């Protein structure tokens, strides 16, 4: 195939370069299209737009493949740890044992936040959503670390802010939860691994079983990165203005909160509860979500890019059975989720639209079994996605040809109106 694409516009033919990615994906480079023809592209919702080149994550939605830096998600979930996988996405290679140790120790050293941040968390109403607390405190960190808010960070500063945020987001998340329960903050215990320490800081339980810590670790690995999803694109967008990294990560948290993105895991649990409490049968419930006049959806189903299956959902479904078995938990919501999935996967509506369970369909049931409350689910997603946001931000600011992100639009409003004095307006 030629490395040029031809575009015929009336009697003019323009040649556009074709860019080929390392997995063979092809893109037409339209950077010069407007300059040469006066045309821009129109792609509402970025359904078919490659907004950047990236070497962090590859996913194939048709084949259900997800890889971080060339490592399959299945292999990482089985063999790696959340912090090792984080190192991998930041630096593009698996760490040696000593590199990993230093990295883990540095993250563990950021085991607290400034007093002002603690005061701010305590000032929130107890029923504040923890995502509101997380987002506002992420940006507030910029008020305390002025050096790290410089327009261009040195490589050493970038390395430092990465470990700092990996440590401090966990602290803010745990403190937000403690505050919502009217409980005192618990200081991090450096002798515990990342996930056990987080559960300890939330619950006060220091004897977190290996199985529980591992289950949480796997969930975080599965969330680490997902190429140009809504929150990561927000991080790139905000970071491209050279906003500081704290503001940039806060933007990622905000975008993640929406129920069509990371907020779906909370919405799934609420949906399953509703089905349980109302006693609705699956078919009646599915008829509601299929109804074009209703705004409800089958939460945890469907994905912009996965049109066959979501590889993360496959791993989570198996993990869900195993975690509940290990913990001896019998959760009726798991039975409802499985029943709903079975009926939906046989329903023409879902089959024809290629709607399958996504990462959020079963993750909430595991969080629940691990004792993590529903309104913390999206915070857990943020904790898992943080390395992806940081890796993509780092990649963007280090890439040659760095530019502020600024899409165009096609104007469809009025072209000329006359100003009528207010007293004369009807």
Ligand X SMILES: CC(C)(COP(=O)(O)OP(=O)(O)OC[C@H]1O[C@@H](n2cnc3c(N)ncnc32)[C@H](O)[C@@H]1OP(=O)(O)O)[C@@H](O)C(=O)NCCC(=O)NCCS
Catalytic residue annotation:
303, 360
Q: Angle at CA 33, nearest 5°, toward 32 and 34?
A: 95
Q: Which residues pair with 59 in a beta bridge?
A: 66
Which CB atom, from 200 or from 301, has the smaller least distance to ligand X?
301
Which CB atom, from 95 or from 364, has the smaller least distance to ligand X?
364
Which distant-in-sequence residues (6+ apart) come within 8 Å of 156 by Cβ?
none
Which CB atom, from 50 or from 371, has the smaller least distance to ligand X?
50
Which CB atom, from 85 or from 358, has the smaller least distance to ligand X?
358
**Minimum distance of ligand X from residue 191's CB (angstroms):** 35
**Minimum distance of ligand X from residue 133's CB (angstroms):** 22
Task: Return residues touching ligand X (CB under 6 A).
Answer: 260, 264, 289, 297-304, 353, 355, 358-360
**Minimum distance of ligand X from residue 193's CB (angstroms):** 27
Which CB atom, from 118 or from 304, has the smaller least distance to ligand X?
304
**Minimum distance of ligand X from residue 313's CB (angstroms):** 9
Which CB atom, from 168 or from 358, has the smaller least distance to ligand X?
358
Is 362 within 8 Å of 322 (Cβ atoms)? no
**Minimum distance of ligand X from residue 420's CB (angstroms):** 40
**Minimum distance of ligand X from residue 381's CB (angstroms):** 9
Cβ atoms < 10 Å from Cβ of 252: 31
**Minimum distance of ligand X from residue 279's CB (angstroms):** 21
Q: Which residues pair with 12 in a beta bridge?
A: 9
Q: Which residue is nearest to ligand X (CB)?
A: 302
Pairing type for strands 57-60 and 65-68 reads antiparallel
Helical spans, DSSP H, in 279-376? 282-290, 311-327, 332-345, 348-352, 359-369
Which CB atom, from 45 or from 155, has the smaller least distance to ligand X?
45
Which distant-in-sequence residues (6+ apart) come within 8 Å of 255 by Cβ?
230, 231, 233, 234, 235, 261
**Minimum distance of ligand X from residue 362's CB (angstroms):** 12
**How would DSSP label each residue in 163-207?**
HHHHHHHHHHHHHHHHHHTT-------TTS-HHHHHHHHHH----
Is 382 within 8 Å of 173 (Cβ atoms)? yes
Which distant-in-sequence residues (6+ apart) come within 8 Å of 5 by Cβ?
15, 16, 17, 18, 28
Helices then strands, counting H and E runs in the chain, come out as 18, 6
* Burial of residue 223 (number of CB atoms within 10 Å: 0-12, 13-18, 19+): buried
Which distant-in-sequence residues (6+ apart) come within 8 Å of 392 by Cβ?
54, 56, 225, 232, 235, 236
Pairing type for strands 57-60 and 26-28 reads unpaired
Q: Which residues pair with 16 in a beta bridge?
A: 5
């Amino acid at each position: 195939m030629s490395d040029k694409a031809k575009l015929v516009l009336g009697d003019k033919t323009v040649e556009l370069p074709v860019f080929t990615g390392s997995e063979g994906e092809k893109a037409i480079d339209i950077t010069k299209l407007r300059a040469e023809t006066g045309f821009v592209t129109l792609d509402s919702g970025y359904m078919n737009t490659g907004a950047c080149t990236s070497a962090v994550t590859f996913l194939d939605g048709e084949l259900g493949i997800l890889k971080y830096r060339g490592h399959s998600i299945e292999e990482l979930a089985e063999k790696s740890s959340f912090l090792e996988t984080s190192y991998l996405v930041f630096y593009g290679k698996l760490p040696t044992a000593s590199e990993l140790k230093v990295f883990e120790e540095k993250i563990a050293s950021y085991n607290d936040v400034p007093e002002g941040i603690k005061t701010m968390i305590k000032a929130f109403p107890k029923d504040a959503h923890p995502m509101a607390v997380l987002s506002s405190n992420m940006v507030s960190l910029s008020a305390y670390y002025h050096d790290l808010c410089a327009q261009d960070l040195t490589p050493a500063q970038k390395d430092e802010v990465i470990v700092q945020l990996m440590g401090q987001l966990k602290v803010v998340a745990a403190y937000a939860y403690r505050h919502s329960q009217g409980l005192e903050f618990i200081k991090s215990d450096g002798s515990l691994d990342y996930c056990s320490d987080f559960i300890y800081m939330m619950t006060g339980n220091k004897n977190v079983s290996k199985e529980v810590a591992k289950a949480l670790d796997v969930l975080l690995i599965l969330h680490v990165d997902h190429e140009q999803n809504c929150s990561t694109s927000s991080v790139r967008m905000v970071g491209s203005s050279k906003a500081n990294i704290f503001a940039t990560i806060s933007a990622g948290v905000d975008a993640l909160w929406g129920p069509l993105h990371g907020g779906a895991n909370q919405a799934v649990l609420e949906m399953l509860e509703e089905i349980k409490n109302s006693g609705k049968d699956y078919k009646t419930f599915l008829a509601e979500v299929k109804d074009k006049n209703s705004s409800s959806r089958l939460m945890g189903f469907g994905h912009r890019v996965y049109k066959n299956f979501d590889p993360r959902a496959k791993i989570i479904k198996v993990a869900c059975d195993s975690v509940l078995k290990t913990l001896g938990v019998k959760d009726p919501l798991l039975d409802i989720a499985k029943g709903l999935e079975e009926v939906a996967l046989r329903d023409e509506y879902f089959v024809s639209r290629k709607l399958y369970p996504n990462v959020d369909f079963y993750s909430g049931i595991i969080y629940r079994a691990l004792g993590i409350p529903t309104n913390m689910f999206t915070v857990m997603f943020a904790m898992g996605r943080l390395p992806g946001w940081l890796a993509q931000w780092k990649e963007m600011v280090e890439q040659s040809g760095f530019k502020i992100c600024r899409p165009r639009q096609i104007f469809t409003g009025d072209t000329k109106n006359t100003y009528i004095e207010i007293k004369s307006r009807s």
